[in-house]
Amino acid sequence: MNRDRLVADLQLNKDKIWDVIVIGGGATGLGVALDSVTRGYKTLLLEQADFSGETSSRSTKLVHGGVRYLAQGDILLVKEALQERGIMLRNAPHLTENQEFVIPVYTLRDVILYTAGLKFYDLLSGRLSLGKSYFINRSRTLDRLPLLKADGLRGGIVYHDGQFDDSRMAITLAGGCVENGGTVINYFKVTGLLKNEEGKICGVKAFDLETGSNYDIAAKCVINASGVHTDEIHHMDNPEARPTIRPSQGVHIVLDKSFLQSSSAIMIPKTEDGRVLFAIPWYDKVVVGTTDTPLDTITAEPKPLDEEIDFILRTAGKYLTKPPSRKDALSIFAGLRPLAADPDNPTATREVSRRHKITLSQSGLLSIIGGKWTSYRRMAEETIDRGIKAGLLEKRKCVTKTFSFYSNVTKLRSERLRIYGNGAAEIERMIDEKPELARLIDPRLPYTKAEIIWICRNEMPRTIGDMLARRTRALFLDVRASAAIAPDIAGIMAEELKTDKNWRENQIEEYNRLILNYI
Ligand SMILES: Cc1cc2nc3c(=O)[nH]c(=O)nc-3n(C[C@H](O)[C@H](O)[C@H](O)COP(=O)(O)OP(=O)(O)OC[C@H]3O[C@@H](n4cnc5c(N)ncnc54)[C@H](O)[C@@H]3O)c2cc1C
């Protein structure tokens, strides 16, 4: 992935008609671009900021069917997601894990209810099951979760779901597109839609945020995968378009692993106000969070609300013998869920379905709305199939069900490096040649200089934020440690990306502003 080369290609082929242009480089858009390019369509994806810079790097990091949605009776949604869970764990084994969860239970009713519910969850996952669920008694529950409060505890229900690194998965999808001949460019904003004499969409107007150049780019099929910005693109097509998105904000707090002291995650299906609470081990830390709050404003960097932070800490403290407080938060992050709204009642605050929606406007704009990370592959398949059905694309079969993101057969000295997929072996070779590259940049974070250099050369980071938030997860794992290494990171990036003198200072300043939202 080399931005200069990809932009130069785009300039050289100014008169080219792309088969597919995808607007938005989150989970949805990248999934669509990969589906499209692997079917053999000439594919271009434009992302206005960084890949997965918005919602897709701020998820709970679960590859799941959604136990909660089962309780809401959305069985088909859960079944489809469980199937996709299995496919994602098989196709991206280097970025996914089988995670054990325990639901603590306090009444006989809950023992029966959750045991039955999770048996059904197992059943729905069929051949792609990650392990059977079962009841454990009180003492075995406390063995697994030593910091769980014991008062009134009857036992626990053990079950399995998947876990992953969301932004690394996004970068891997982008890499997969480029490897297969697609063009994906970050910091390139779609500013308008091109229409022919019949009023049909035939391309996009776009703006390169790095060079300031404007482009008119022609395409047979334009796909809007812009997450919470979907309606902005709809308005470019039709200023009268009705709202289709209902944003809803979720907050997560990252704590030291000493707050859980377990490799099992805790899931509390019903807290004091009926919301879910979970505490999940992730990269040697614990991510604690709850379900979302509906919101009216859309921003690229949503701010965690005070009441959300207080709710999470207070509720975690009710269940854990070591209650966390604000000063224990290593990082706090918020994400906006692009839920598909009811067009007749777009601001309804009741639970909006997690199911995705594909729409085709009169002028031929395909939009893919809502859904979840886990289902990105299926959503992409359905979107391209819809483009075929609408006559925008010639018929070709989807191949992503068996598309493997990891073919590394080399035995790694450091298993941790496998998150870089087939690049891990190359990072180890760099360390063999220059052993000093293996030194940790900061003892609080797992990253070495070798990784930072390799990322600069292969994964298209353009800012320190790209490097610290999404290529590595430093911002999410420990915001203060990430700020401490920002000057070193800026130095390495400036050298690798051959930036001008002011870049380093500007980047550090910008990063110091960014982290305020995460502290
Ligand atoms: C708090 C929270 C927790 C979640 N947890 C999970 C989970 O554990 N598991 C799971 O499966 N799902 C989870 N989800 C859902 C999942 O994260 C989302 O469904 C998914 O990331 C949405 O991806 P997206 O590509 O549609 O949106 P985004 O990631 O927001 O991507 C849209 C992109 O479009 C770009 N864009 C917008 N306008 C333009 C333009 N004009 N030109 C170019 N680019 C543009 C934006 O910059 C953005 O990067 C969670 C969601 C939230 C909010």
Element counts in the chain: helices (H) and strands (E): 16, 18
Task: For the chain, give the number of residues.
Answer: 519
Could you tell me the distance, in angstroms and rounded to a whole number, from the CA of residue 348 to the centre of ligand 1? 21
Question: What is the model's pTM?
Answer: 0.95
Cα distances from 159 to residues 117, 143, 162, 234, 257, in angstroms, run 11, 16, 11, 41, 21
Q: Which of 158, 202, 313 is closest to 251 using CA atoms?
A: 313
348 pLDDT more than 80: no
Count CB-CB contacts under 10 A for residue 274. Answer: 8
Q: At what angle do helices 479-497 and 501-514 cross, to 10 degrees?
A: 160
Residues 457-495: tens digit of each pLDDT: 999 999 999 999 999 999 999 999 999 999 999 999 999
Q: Which of 481, 516, 508 is closest to 492 using CA atoms?
A: 508
Q: Which of 48, 55, 50 is closest to 1 using CA atoms?
A: 50
171 pLDDT more than 80: yes
- Does ligand 1 come within 6 angstroms of the Cβ of 54? yes
- Does ligand 1 come within 6 angstroms of the Cβ of 471? no
- Does ligand 1 come within 6 angstroms of the Cβ of 62? yes
What torsion, rounded to 10 degrees, do the Cα atoms 160, 404, 26, 8 define?
160
Looking from the CA of residue 374, the nearest atom of ligand 1 is: 11
- Candidate from 194-208, 402-416, 469-483 with smallest mean pLDDT: 402-416
- Does ligand 1 come within 6 angstroms of the Cβ of 49? yes
Could you tell me the distance, in angstroms and rounded to a whole number, from the CA of residue 469 to the centre of ligand 1? 15
Looking from the CA of residue 189, the nearest atom of ligand 1 is: 42
Q: Best substitution site from 63, 373, 374, 375 to test ligand 1's pocket, by max atoms within 8 Å of Cβ?
A: 373
Count CB-CB contacts under 10 A for residue 109. Answer: 9
Q: Best substitution site from 22, 45, 55 to test ligand 1's pocket, by max atoms within 8 Å of Cβ?
A: 55
List beta partners, residue 21: 44, 222
CB-based contact 478:329 (threshold 8 Å)? no
Could you tell me the distance, in angstroms and rounded to a whole number, from the CA of residue 52 to the centre of ligand 1? 7
Confidence band, pLDDT 50/70/90 cuts, at residue 220? very high
Q: Best substitution site from 229, 248, 288, 460 to test ligand 1's pocket, by max atoms within 8 Å of Cβ?
A: 229
Q: What is the CA radius of gyration of the chain?
A: 23
- Does ligand 1 come within 6 angstroms of the Cβ of 335? yes
What percent of the chain lies above the pLDDT cut of 90? 83
Q: Best substitution site from 50, 56, 191 to test ligand 1's pocket, by max atoms within 8 Å of Cβ?
A: 56
Mean pLDDT of the chain: 93
237 pLDDT more than 70: yes
**Angle (CA) 369 374 379, round 5°:** 40
Q: At what angle do helices 376-389 and 27-38 cross, to 10 degrees?
A: 60
350 pLDDT more than 60: no
Could you tell me the distance, in angstroms and rounded to a whole number, from the CA of residue 485 to the centre of ligand 1? 27
Residues 288-334: tens digit of each pLDDT: 998 777 777 777 788 888 989 999 999 999 999 999 999 999 999 99
438 pLDDT more than 70: yes
422 pLDDT more than 80: yes
118 pLDDT more than 90: yes
- Does ligand 1 come within 6 angstroms of the Cβ of 56? yes
- Rounded CA separation 372/169 (Å): 14
DSSP 143: H
- Higher model confidence: residue 159 or residue 351? 159
- Candidate from 31-45, 175-189, 220-234, 262-276 with smallest mean pLDDT: 262-276
- Protein residue with its CA nearest to atom 41 in ligand 1: 190
- Does ligand 1 come within 6 angstroms of the Cβ of 460? no
- For 275, phi then psi, to 5°, come to -85, 160
At residue 278, the pLDDT reads: 94
